[in-house]
Structure formats: structure tokens, C-alpha cells
Homo-oligomer: A and B are copies of this chain.
Amino acid sequence: MQARIGDLSRLLGAELIGNPDTPVARIAPLETAGPGDIAFLANPRYQAQLLATQATCVIVGPAMRDAAAARGAVLVAADPYLAYARLTQWWAQQARRPAEPGIHRSACVEEGASIHPTATIGALAYVGRGARVDAGAVVGSHSHVGDDAGVGAGTLLKPHVSLLQACRIGQRGIVHSGAVIGADGFGFAPTGADQGGRYEKIEQLGNVQIGDDVEIGANTCIDRGALEDTVIEDGVKLDNLVQIGHNVRVGAHTAFAGCVGVAGSARIGRHCTAGGGAIILGHLEIVDHVHITAATVISRSILKAGQYSGMFPFDDNASWEKNAATLRQLHTLRDRIRALEKKT
């Protein structure tokens, strides 16, 4: 595939410095780009790479305009990272065969499921019985999902996805392979010792409601609600191997990296993020614009926007062993300091 940078300039609404007929054949990272490649600089910290790159053309922000122009062809965009995102979308449209709307011959769609004609159900995917939408259901604040769609317009279920009974997803969604939407939430009532301490199943009578423009990663699980529905609002992005327990609500435009786990009945605000491996316990509330560092365990509600962290710092093994041993006596250390303070 080839593109002329003049055409890309028009596509991205970016100022062009250089010959519009210059061809580029690949989008490449700034660091490894060579002749014939187009690259981008989003973070001014990497300015040294800008000067060293062999790329034929570079997308930069206004602040880097002159530095970039000094070395060759440039596209100047207000937000170069966003321009890069849009360039990849255009590039994928040109280079890849588009998803074919419809149900793959090897997929299994049960009776009563409702799939928009522009949606794509991938190979070996499963769509359960009676997927349907209550009129006027609202998911997040920006959209109503129409009556016609268990799987919304333009939505793409990749191979091996399970969208189980009576769950639904809105428009322009992408669900990656192996994701399971609508498995039973984890709910059991313990019986007494007189009955052997068995667990009695609490049937999960709710469903999963997923808004528009949601992307769900490979092998991610979103459980159905116990009584009401588990809700993923519009624009949410979940990476791979994420676990969303029953009755959880994830607010619009929130993004979770890989291996995040959210326990049942947590309510997460909008425009939040969680780094990889973070765990959010159940029955708590997190307000909008909360950012959780990777591998942090959120054990109580967060009612104020901001960044929250709780990552145990790693060290070489010998240092860690010494510190970990002391850590188990931390309370004693505090008492010893207190005693010293009294003495002096």
C-alpha cells in the first residue's frame, strides 16, 4: 500500500510542509522508521528521536513544527497522537479486507437473538437465546439502544466470543476472541454446618447491558447481574483478561488495562482508568476521573477524583527479603519509636 502525504494532510486536517506527492508505504515508530515511512511524535520528551529518525514524513504538534521542518516533510496536527490514531484507521480501511456483515457459517446463533444486519458475528462465536432490548434502555448518558438490536449496528463479535442469553451490546462495538458476556455472577448462600457447609446457588436473574462504542478484550468476562443488570456504559474500553463481576456498573469512557478485576456490585465512574492487574473490591463506589495505578488494590470507596496507588515496590531479592521481614514487625517498630520519643 502507498499513500501520498498531500492526501494524508487533507485526511487529517493537518498542515503539510513538503512535497504533497511524496509517497509513504508504512506507518512506523519514530525510532525504527526508515525511508518510505511516516512516523509521529506525540511526546516532546522524544524530541531527540525526531532529529535522528530516517522517516520520510513526521506528524508533529505545533510546538515541534520548526524542528521537524528542518529535517524533511512534516504534517502539523493540533493533536498528533489523535492524528496518528485516525491515520491508522484510514490505513486499516485501505489495507485490510473489511469485516463482512452477517453471521459466519460456523457461528451459532440461537433462536430469538436479534442481530443488526450491519453487525458481524465471527467464526465459532455464540449468541444466546432471546437476546433482546427493552425499549428505551439507556446505557450511559449519550445513547439509547434501539429495539432492534441484541447486537447493535456495525458491532463486531470476533471468533469464539460468547454473548449469552438475553445480554446485549450496542452499536460500533468490538468484542475480541474468547470474551464471555453473561456468564453467571458468583453468588452462593452458605448453608449451616448442619447441612455440610454446602453452598446453595443464587440464580443470576439479571443480564448484561453494554452501550455503544465499547471495546472488550480477548478472554475478558462480564458476568450477568444477580437481580438487576451489569452495565457497561458507552465508550468503555476493556483490555484482555479483565473480570467484571455481577451488578457492576462501569461509567462511560472508562478504560481498564489487562488483568484488571472488579468484584461484584462496584460502581465505577466515568472517565476513569485502571492500570494492568489492578483489583477493585466489591460493593464500593469510585467517582468520575479516578485513575488507579497498575497492580493497586482498591479496598474502599474513592469519592475524590485523582490518582491512587498501592503497588509494592520491587527490589533485588536480598534487599526485599530484609525489608519484607521488617515489614511484618512494622507495628512493633512504631511502638519502639514511641518509646524512644517518651524517653528523650
Contact = CB atoms under 8 A, between A and B. Distances in A.
Contact of A176 (B184, B205, B316): B184
A302 B13 CA distance: 42
B199 A255 contact: yes
Contacts of A311: 297, 299, 312, 320, 324
Contacts of A313: 299, 310, 324-325, 327-328
Nearest to A281: B294
Interface string A322-344: 11111111110110110011011
A86 B199 CA distance: 11
A321 B226 CA distance: 31
B276 A259 contact: no
Contacts of A184: 174, 176, 215
Contacts of A92: 203, 205
A27 interface: yes
Contacts of A312: 296-297, 310-312, 324, 327
Interface residues of A, number: 128
A120 interface: no
B324 A317 contact: no
A2 interface: no
Contacts of A126: 123-124, 159-160, 177
A136 interface: no
A200 interface: yes
Contact of A297 (B124, B180, B294): B294
Contacts of A277: 261, 277, 279, 297
Interface stretch (A4-12, A17-25, A144-152, A237-245): A237-245
A29 interface: yes
Contact of A276 (B79, B187, B261, B310): B261
A49 interface: no
Interface in A98-121: 104, 106, 108, 110
Given A27-B227, A177-B180, A240 B186 contact: yes
A134 to B, nearest CB: 13
A319 to B, nearest CB: 7
Contacts of A29: 227-228
A278 to B, nearest CB: 9
A263 B126 CA distance: 29
Contacts of A323: 327-331
25 contacts: A79-B191, A84-B202, A104-B108, A162-B218, A174-B184, A177-B183, A178-B178, A180-B218, A180-B219, A188-B255, A196-B235, A217-B221, A261-B277, A276-B279, A294-B299, A297-B314, A308-B320, A310-B315, A319-B331, A323-B331, A326-B330, A326-B334, A330-B330, A337-B340, A344-B344
10 closest Cβ pairs, A-B complex: A310-B314, A85-B189, A183-B218, A92-B203, A307-B317, A88-B203, A309-B320, A180-B218, A322-B331, A162-B177
